[in-house]
């Protein structure tokens, strides 16, 4: 890893593109329920960070591709770490929806 990669932030736009191109993948939004209701990416699953253990009930397959995002990227990084510690093997932090250039639904 180069020195500059230490400062590289995930790109949600590229992440959503990857999610759409990955068969059977899940787009996981870890913002609060209120934040999600204010606008979210169509097709995303909302499980707030504080309830991240609920992922086990919604995504039992530990190898399923999961793309995680939040508002700014902080909670998605935390959630990604927790999911990996729970045994999920294919988890990608794609950052914050505040950088998303696509359409959101309410």
State in Å, rounded, how far the first CA of the chain is from the last one. Answer: 39
Contact at 8 Å (CB) between 55 and 91?
Answer: no
Cα–Cα distances in angstroms (integers) from residue 20 to residues 54, 57, 99, in the given order? 23, 23, 17
What amino acid positions are annotated as catalytic residues? 70
């Amino acid at each position: 890893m180069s020195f500059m990669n230490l400062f590289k932030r995930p790109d949600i736009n590229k992440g959503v593109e990857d999610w759409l191109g990955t068969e059977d993948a899940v787009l996981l939004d870890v913002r609060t329920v209120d934040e999600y209701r204010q606008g979210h990416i169509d097709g995303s699953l909302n499980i707030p960070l504080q309830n991240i253990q609920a992922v086990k009930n919604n995504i039992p397959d530990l190898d399923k591709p999961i793309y995680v995002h939040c508002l700014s990227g902080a909670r998605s990084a935390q959630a990604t770490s927790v999911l990996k510690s729970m045994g999920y093997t294919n988890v990608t932090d794609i950052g914050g929806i505040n950088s998303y250039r696509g359409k959101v639904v309410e």
